[in-house]
Amino acid sequence: MAPSPGGIFLGEGIIELPDERAEGAYRRVIACLAVLAVVLLAYPALRMGWDFEIDNTEGWNAYHQMRALAGLPLYEGGSAYFFNNYPPLSFYLVGAFSLVVGEVNLAGRVLSFAAMLGLCAAVGSIVRSGGGSRLDARFGAVTCALFFAAFATDYLGKNNPQLLGEAFVVSGLAVYLRQPGRAASAALAALLFALGVLTKHSLIGLPLLVGADLLIRGKARPRLVYFATGLGLAALSAALLWGLAGKAFFTQLLASRTWDVARSFLFTTEIAGQFQAPLAVVGLALIHTRKTRPAGLILAYLGAALSLGIFYSGGAGTDINVFFDVFIALAIGAGLSLHLIARDGARAALALVINAGVLFYTPFCLGRFGVDITGEMDSREQLFHEDVAYLKAIPGVALCQSHLLCLRAGKPAFWDPINTLQAMLAGRLPADTLTGMLRRHEIAVVEISDPPVHAEDNNPGTQSMPARWMDFQDEVFEVLKQEYVLDRISLSGRFYRPRTSLR
């Protein structure tokens, strides 16, 4: 016996729920999830105002944003050991926005947080374009916010271009799906995709998928306009970048890095563990309704996001952000799924199931929020300022793994650990570039945030452990032991100074 439109199965029987009651339950679940999203988002929103480093990409971005604001070259002219392997758009946008906010790092944080909110709004628009109700669209947007708030907390309100780029490309998809038969929509979508790729070059999945969708299903005029606009913008961008930076831009952007299958496997299993419920529910729903537009396109987006994430995650220096398209595709698919397959009485339950991982992680998120807001962030800011004062008092060249620390101390950008390590491993720089500098005591102070665990002299039985992010060769730590002394341990990590300078 099939369930009635307002009923759900329970064992052998059916519980009948009037449509109004079922929709009311669905509405209340979405309202509760929205309240939870606001609470979880309050933490990264408040954290933006504290002056300490969320992670070392903040200072790295801030250095380039300051160069863009000053009209200096982004890909050459600075230190030979400080690279830029990102497209330039975010640096100019944040630099310009800092004239309003007053400081580049805060400007980057605010713009990134605003981009996440815009991204969630675009998710809701896509669900609506797929035929979903306002409630379904709201559920997709709220689910998107919850996924990021629970599983990518340290990326929200952080000075990093990933979410800005995602907002551009997902907005492009929203524009394309709102009126897919119009040439103007195709042109605007191509423009937004171009802005996204000029912000983060790895965001190529959606532009390619929309291009394939137009080739297969699109009308002649929007297809022609999309490809003409996209190729025209690509050619114009390449010409401008060559004129502004020459070969240096393409050399740094396309520089190779090591790839490790074990790293990819560990990152992928972490994501799979966090998203078991939505991957199962949304994945099966999209497969079942793949012939319904735009379910098939979103299913392809989810598959491409997983494939690209698995590939990107094996590269040195990558982080969870390579899977952000999975977050977004699942959030879109969540709203579409409840519209396409869920009966009225089951929507509230399925909405909770899709967010089961979020609900499981919520106590940990709230615990962190509570500890940090009741004094931990004040302490971190104070300790960070003490480290800045310590570093500022030391004349000479500083090597900082915490880039914001060097920036606040007035030190010029000198050493980019991950990209310089990759340059040495690939033979673009001599393998002894850093160890040679350390042996000659050319660096006045070395700050290392998270060194690998090595055996200590007073505990020879201690075993070394692999670092998740490898920024230095093992021999660097041996040279530090021989030529430098540990002068300070604080919030920012360990500070080493040459033995001769402390005699």
Q: What is the pLDDT of residues 234-272, one digit of tens each?
A: 999 999 999 989 999 999 999 998 999 999 999 999 999
Mean pLDDT of the chain: 90
pLDDT at 463 over 60: no
Domain assignment of residue 168, yes or no: yes
More confident residue, 171 or 457: 171
Domain assignment of residue 132, yes or no: yes
Domain assignment of residue 388, yes or no: yes
DSSP strand pairing (7-10 vs 398-400): unpaired
Regarding whether 389 and 432 lie in a shared domain, the answer is yes
Domain assignment of residue 166, yes or no: yes
DSSP, collapsed to helix, strand or coil, labels residue 288 as helix
Regarding whether 271 and 127 lie in a shared domain, the answer is yes
pLDDT at 453 over 60: no
Q: Are 59 and 400 in contact (CB under 8 A)?
A: yes
Regarding whether 390 and 339 lie in a shared domain, the answer is no
Domain assignment of residue 463, yes or no: yes
Regarding whether 471 and 398 lie in a shared domain, the answer is yes
Distance CA 322, CA 306 (A): 9
More confident residue, 451 or 282: 282
337-375 pLDDT tens trace: 988 886 666 889 999 999 999 999 999 999 999 999 999
DSSP code for 76: S
Predicted confidence band of residue 178 (pLDDT cuts 50, 70, 90): very high
Residues pairing with 494 in the sheet = 448, 489
Regarding whether 343 and 290 lie in a shared domain, the answer is yes
Regarding whether 448 and 336 lie in a shared domain, the answer is no
Of 313, 338, 369, the one marking the end of a domain is 369
Flag the least confident range among 112-121, 155-164, 410-419, 446-455.
446-455
Predicted confidence band of residue 4 (pLDDT cuts 50, 70, 90): very low
pLDDT at 341: 80
Q: Are 85 and 253 in contact (CB under 8 A)?
A: yes
Regarding whether 424 and 354 lie in a shared domain, the answer is no
pLDDT at 2 over 50: no
pLDDT at 252: 92
More confident residue, 62 or 463: 62
Distance CA 117, CA 98 (A): 20
User: What average pLDDT score do residues 395-421 get?
Assistant: 95
Q: Are 3 and 9 in contact (CB under 8 A)?
A: yes
Contacts of 10 (CB under 8 A, 6+ apart): none
Neighbours of 489 (CB within 10 A): 9
Regarding whether 361 and 403 lie in a shared domain, the answer is no
pLDDT at 296: 94
Regarding whether 312 and 384 lie in a shared domain, the answer is no
Domain assignment of residue 2, yes or no: no
Domain assignment of residue 448, yes or no: yes
pLDDT at 210 over 60: yes
Predicted confidence band of residue 384 (pLDDT cuts 50, 70, 90): very high
Of 369, 389, 412, the one marking the end of a domain is 369
Regarding whether 285 and 168 lie in a shared domain, the answer is yes
pLDDT at 467: 52
pLDDT at 8 over 90: no
- Write out the residue range of the structural domain in which residue 319 sits: 7-369
Regarding whether 233 and 118 lie in a shared domain, the answer is yes
Count of domains for the chain? 2
pLDDT at 93 over 60: yes
Domain assignment of residue 164, yes or no: yes
- The rounded Cα 499 to chain-centroid distance in angstroms is 40
Regarding whether 454 and 323 lie in a shared domain, the answer is no
Of 325, 340, 369, the one marking the end of a domain is 369
pLDDT at 459: 46
pLDDT at 16: 45
